[in-house]
Amino acid sequence: MHAPREPFQPAVPAPWQRAAAGANLLGPAGRLGVTIFEEMTTLAAKTGAINLGQGFPDEDGPAEIKAAAMAAIDAGANQYAPGKGILELREAVAAHQERFYGLTHDPQTEVIITTGATEGLAAALLAFVGAGDEVLTFEPFYDSYGAVIALSGATHVTAPLLAPDFFPDLAALEAAFTDRTRVVLLNNPHNPTGAVFPREVLQRVVELARRHECLIITDEVYEHLTFGAGHIPVATLPGAAERTITISSAGKTFSFTGWKIGWLTGPEHLVAAVRTVKQFLTYSSGTPFQAAIATGLGLPDAFYHGIAATLREKRDILSQGLRAAGFDVFTPQGTYFVNVDTAPLGIRDSVDLARRLPELVGVAAIPVPVFCHPAGAERTRSLLRFAFCKKVEVLEEAAARLATLSGKL
């Protein structure tokens, strides 16, 4: 039996997370607050700002994938999918893992389809951790990690990523492991920093996970969005596969973030444990979208190279604009996010700036401290994240608007 849960404390008690009067009655839900993505997208809509905050493309993905979804709807694929996902998509995920990484998985027992990576992460964490356990992540960390770890009752321990490359301090990483570490939750390529971790870092994580007998849950949703060295799935490293659950999703690769089709692969006994939890979260999801994403995963290599090349150009366009606006730019090697330091413009608090930026210049962005616990928030206090998965003309207009910022501060 788990001990009673500690009340949830938000990662950063930022203004938008301040609990409403009486929120204590709501338990953990009252303390989670509105996500920064929702907050900034709402603000962008209200002010008519260009939304470079929440990461979603402003163009649809491939026409053949859309056509496949419509055909599936027409063909009557409109009732519940099996809990673990339709076989066609499980087979396509297994084929994708083999084609790109040489990983082999039995689509019957080692692959499940989830409602986006978000559900895969939640189901995996809830399957393996509870009160008394520690979950180790890098910091900054994607926002749902902090929330789900808290909901599970486990303790969230972090190891810092350090500018300018946002690689971890390996000594701090080693020191963050304890005999209560049950899961190390990785994210590579990394949101929000855009870091792509080199093999040595990943290998070190695997060694430490083995030494401390813990599981690795790895979130690789940006696996195809890298601009230099290709993606290295943790599960391909020596000694990793037996203890690793790999999570990905269709949202980023195919530009259909609203379809919420994700997947998870790993050893049979681990996948079975996640499936048990997943049954009671959503049971299953998006039957016709699953069929369509099976089509997507089968697209030729040229498609995958094309998305990375296009994004790389967009990264460079926005980065140049951000530099011209006076920010220090940390060039990302993956994802569709670029981080800047606002300090050269005399700004000390990116949370405050992010809340004013839409009114000031008509652009929305996400402050990096919200992805941190208090010490990390202090370390990243002047950092701001911009999404560049937008049309070139939109990025150029955003850059032009940001160029006026220094005169308005």
Of 366 and 377, CB closest to ligand PMP:
366
Pick one of ligand GLN, ligand PMP, none as the site partner of residue 54 (Cβ within 5 to 8 A by kind): ligand GLN
CB of 207 to ligand GLN, least distance (A): 29
Whose CA is closest to 37, among 226, 216, 251, 219?
251
Pick one of ligand PMP, ligand GLN, none as the site partner of residue 117 (Cβ within 5 to 8 A by kind): ligand PMP
CB of 274 to ligand PMP, least distance (A): 15
Of 54 and 333, CB closest to ligand GLN:
54
Assess 236 for contact with ligand GLN (CB under 6 A).
no
CA–CA separation, 399 vs 397, rounded Å?
Answer: 5
Letters for 32-71 (x = contact with ligand GLN by CB under 6 A, - = none) are -----x----------------xx----------------
CB of 55 to ligand GLN, least distance (A): 3
Of 260 and 314, CB closest to ligand PMP:
260
Report the relative pairing of strands 111-115 and 261-265 from DSSP bridges: antiparallel
Assess 339 for contact with ligand GLN (CB under 6 A).
no
Assess 101 for contact with ligand GLN (CB under 6 A).
no
Which three-class secondary structure string do you get for 306-353?
Answer: HHHHHHHHHHHHHHHHHHHCCCEEECCCECCEEEEECHHHCCCCHHHH
Say whether 27 sits in a helix, a strand or coil: coil
**Contacting residues toward ligand PMP, per CB under 6 A:** 55, 116-118, 142, 187, 191, 219, 221, 249, 251, 257, 260, 262
Cβ–Cβ < 8 Å for 83, 279: yes
Pick one of ligand PMP, ligand GLN, none as the site partner of residue 303 (Cβ within 5 to 8 A by kind): none
- The vertex-238 CA angle with 236 and 239, nearest 5°, equals 110
Evaluate the CA torsion angle 254, 45, 35, 286 in order and state its sign: negative
Of 55 and 334, CB closest to ligand GLN:
55
Assess 286 for contact with ligand GLN (CB under 6 A).
no
Of 103 and 351, CB closest to ligand GLN:
351
E strand segments, 4-76? 50-51
Of 183 and 399, CB closest to ligand PMP:
183
Sequence-distant (6+) residues with CB within 8 A of 386 are 52, 318, 322, 337, 338, 339, 340, 365, 366, 398
Pick one of ligand PMP, ligand GLN, none as the site partner of residue 249 (Cβ within 5 to 8 A by kind): ligand PMP
User: Between residue 298 and residue 317, which ones bind ligand GLN under the rule CB under 6 A?
Assistant: none
Cβ–Cβ < 8 Å for 248, 189: no
- The vertex-392 CA angle with 386 and 394, nearest 5°, equals 65
Q: Is the peptide bond before 10 cis (omega within 30 degrees of 0)?
A: no
Of 41 and 319, CB closest to ligand GLN:
41
Letters for 146-185 (x = contact with ligand GLN by CB under 6 A, - = none) are ----------------------------------------
Sequence-distant (6+) residues with CB within 8 A of 212 are 177, 178, 179, 181
CB of 365 to ligand PMP, least distance (A): 15
Q: Which of 114, 191, 285, 295 binds ligand GLN (CB under 6 A)?
A: 191
Residue nearest to ligand PMP (CB): 116
Of 122 and 347, CB closest to ligand PMP:
122
Whose CA is closest to 102, among 224, 264, 263, 233?
233
**Which residues pair with residue 340 across a beta bridge?**
329, 384
Sequence-distant (6+) residues with CB within 8 A of 308 are 224, 225, 226, 227
Of 208 and 363, CB closest to ligand GLN:
363
Under rule CB under 6 A, how many of the chain's residues touch ligand GLN? 4
> Rounded to a whole number, what is the largest CA-CA distance in the chain?
60
What does the binding site for ligand GLN look like in residue numbers (CB under 6 A)? Answer: 37, 54-55, 191
